[in-house]
């Protein structure tokens, strides 16, 4: 016990250096989920493949991360969070290098899977490491910063990707990770905490196989909705099989002594509520994230570089406001900040629905900033709430669940946005479309408005849930204080 206390004290002194390693790694892994979006046309031309084929470069990364996230969270609890985290950095760096040297789509997709598996190892264990080395009074700020860099990475991708493609070639969107990955790996080996202990628990291989198969089928089906339509029989077959496998997975986990997914964690209603809020926020934000680049380049005729520069408003505002959200959560509590944050995000999404073919760029920038401010105030405190509900020996799997739900929200947001956008465009035109239609700008605006209004509505559901959490937790605290005084 004394040894553990001494180790924690030593690592606590290095906590801000450790946090730097964490945020750099998760920024890279989150960035690579979206940085390729702007580069897809260039990649398709260079590799001589269709636009639908090159879209798998984005989809397969999110699928592989989401499918392996829980497994790496569990492995972190068994073999050590730092061990799995460092393995993830090394694998991600190798995958990034391979992505940049390939001239074949199949090899590129394989390299993206390697890169994604490494990213899953990092993302599943970073929050657990932070919780281990930071004291309770600073934990909200630290977890908030980590959550901020996840959001920054995800949202800075289109803008940074546009700038890189405009200045160099698409390979550099992957190669930029290599020197950073090597530096982070070397610093991690030197500074990250090592317990020297390994749990004698076993990995739930059956549960892992069921979960990975279910997620691959689910995300694969959702990724095909835009190109083949929601009514496609293969899509529905995959969706039904994935649901059946997930039900079997839950039954297996409920009976297994050492499950991959600790279902008892969801018995804590505040953990469950906070996870749901996280999911809702990423669905809403990624509805905007997938539509905005098309609006800027197809309707407003921005170049990739100009679009990237404009899209950088979001991550810049987020970088400025999210650390403040984490700091305030340590001072005044997280519940009121998450409520205010989601409310602002809802307002920003609603304002974005008013855009037309000739917008005021100043107003449009303000609308984006409002969304970003709301997300910055929400993400940090909500991450702190999630991790604060977990026991120390479940930080790995808890962080894995949170990261998985975040990626699920991204995929669902992208699927919802593209389905609504092209569904509304098809309805307006009277025939099915799956791409931008030249000289039909008003039709795109019509579909985009439906996307933003739907995203705002989804976010408002999150506002109601966070309001319930705020008032319920305050009531619990008041009742607890009364009971203490009566004693």
For residue 40, CA distances in Å to 57, 59, 146, 161, 308 come to: 8, 12, 28, 10, 14
pLDDT bracket for residue 311 (50, 70, 90): confident
Whether 302 has a pLDDT exceeding 90, the answer reads: no
Q: How far apart are the first and last CA of the chain?
A: 33
Q: Which of 183, 166, 158, 248 is nearest to 211 (CA)?
A: 248
Tell which wins on pLDDT, 467 or 13.
Answer: 467
Tell which wins on pLDDT, 455 or 38.
Answer: 455
CATH superfamily of 2-193+260-486: MFS general substrate transporter like domains (1.20.1250.20)
Whether 204 has a pLDDT exceeding 90, the answer reads: no
pLDDT on residue 163? 79
pLDDT bracket for residue 6 (50, 70, 90): very low
Per residue in 369-379, pLDDT (tens digit) is 999 999 888 88
Cα three-residue angle 407-195-183, rounded to 5 degrees: 60
CA dist 26 and 152 (Å) reads 10
pLDDT bracket for residue 213 (50, 70, 90): very high
pLDDT on residue 199? 64
> How much of the chain exceeds pLDDT 70, in percent?
91
CA dist 228 and 466 (Å) reads 36
Worst-scoring range by mean pLDDT, 226-240, 341-355, 393-407? 393-407
Q: At what angle do helices 105-133 and 395-429 cross, to 10 degrees?
A: 130
Whether 52 has a pLDDT exceeding 80, the answer reads: no
Whether 146 has a pLDDT exceeding 80, the answer reads: no
> How much of the chain exceeds pLDDT 90, in percent?
26
Ranges of each domain in the chain:
2-193+260-486, 204-259
Contact residues for 111 (Cβ-Cβ < 8 A; gap 6+): 95, 98, 99, 102
pLDDT bracket for residue 155 (50, 70, 90): low
pLDDT bracket for residue 332 (50, 70, 90): confident
Per residue in 426-451, pLDDT (tens digit) is 889 988 887 778 878 899 999 999 99
Per residue in 244-277, pLDDT (tens digit) is 999 999 999 888 888 888 788 888 888 888 899 9
Mean residue pLDDT across the chain: 83
pLDDT on residue 487? 63
Whether 3 has a pLDDT exceeding 60, the answer reads: no
């Amino acid at each position: 016990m004394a040894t553990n206390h001494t180790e924690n004290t030593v690592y606590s002194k290095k906590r801000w250096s450790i946090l730097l390693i964490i945020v750099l790694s998760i920024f890279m892994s989150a960035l690579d989920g979206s940085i390729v979006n702007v580069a897809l046309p260039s990649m398709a031309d260079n590799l001589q493949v269709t636009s639908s084929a090159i879209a798998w470069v984005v989809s397969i990364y999110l699928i592989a991360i989401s499918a392996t996230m829980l497994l790496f969270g569990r492995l972190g609890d068994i073999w050590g969070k730092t061990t799995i985290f460092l393995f993830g950095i090394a694998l991600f760096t190798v995958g990034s290098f391979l992505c940049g040297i390939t001239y074949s789509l199949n090899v590129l997709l394989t390299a993206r899977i390697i890169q994604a598996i490494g990213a899953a190892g990092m993302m599943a264990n970073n929050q657990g490491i932070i919780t281990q080395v930071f004291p309770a009074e600073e934990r909200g700020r630290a977890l908030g910063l980590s959550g901020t860099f996840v959001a920054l990475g995800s949202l800075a991708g289109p803008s940074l990707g546009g700038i890189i493609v405009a200045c160099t070639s698409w390979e550099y969107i992957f190669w930029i990770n290599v020197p950073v990955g090597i530096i982070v790996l070397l610093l991690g080996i030197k500074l990250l905490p090592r317990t020297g202990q390994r749990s004698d628990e076993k990995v739930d291989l059956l549960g892992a196989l069921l979960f990975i198969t279910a997620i691959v089928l689910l995300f694969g089906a959702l990724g095909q909705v835009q190109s083949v339509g929601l009514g496609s029989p293969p899509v529905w077959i995959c969706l039904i099989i994935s649901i059946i496998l997930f039900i079997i997975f839950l039954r297996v986990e409920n009976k297994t002594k050492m499950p991959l997914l600790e279902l008892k964690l969801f018995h804590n209603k505040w953990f469950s509520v906070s996870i749901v809020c996280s999911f809702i926020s990423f669905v809403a934000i990624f509805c905007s994230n997938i539509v905005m680049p098309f609006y800027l380049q197809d309707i407003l005729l921005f170049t990739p570089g100009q679009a990237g520069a404009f899209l950088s408003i979001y991550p810049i505002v987020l970088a400025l406001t999210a650390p403040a959200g984490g700091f305030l959560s340590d001072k005044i509590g997280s519940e009121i900040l998450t409520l205010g944050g989601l409310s602002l995000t809802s307002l920003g999404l609603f304002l974005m629905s008013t855009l037309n073919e000739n917008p005021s760029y100043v107003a449009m920038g303000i609308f984006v900033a409002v969304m970003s401010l709301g997300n910055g105030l929400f993400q940090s405190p909500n991450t702190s709430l999630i991790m604060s509900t977990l026991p120390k020996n479940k930080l790995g799997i808890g962080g894995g669940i949170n990261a998985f739900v975040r990626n699920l929200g991204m995929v669902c947001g992208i699927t919802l946005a593209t389905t609504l956008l092209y569904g509304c465009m098809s309805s307006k035109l009277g025939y099915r479309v799956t791409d931008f239609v030249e000289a039909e700008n008003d039709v795109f605006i019509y579909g985009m408005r439906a996307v933003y209004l739907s995203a705002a509505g989804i976010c408002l559901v999150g506002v109601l849930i966070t309001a319930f959490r705020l008032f319920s937790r305050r009531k619990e605290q008041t009742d607890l204080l009364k009971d203490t005084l009566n004693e």
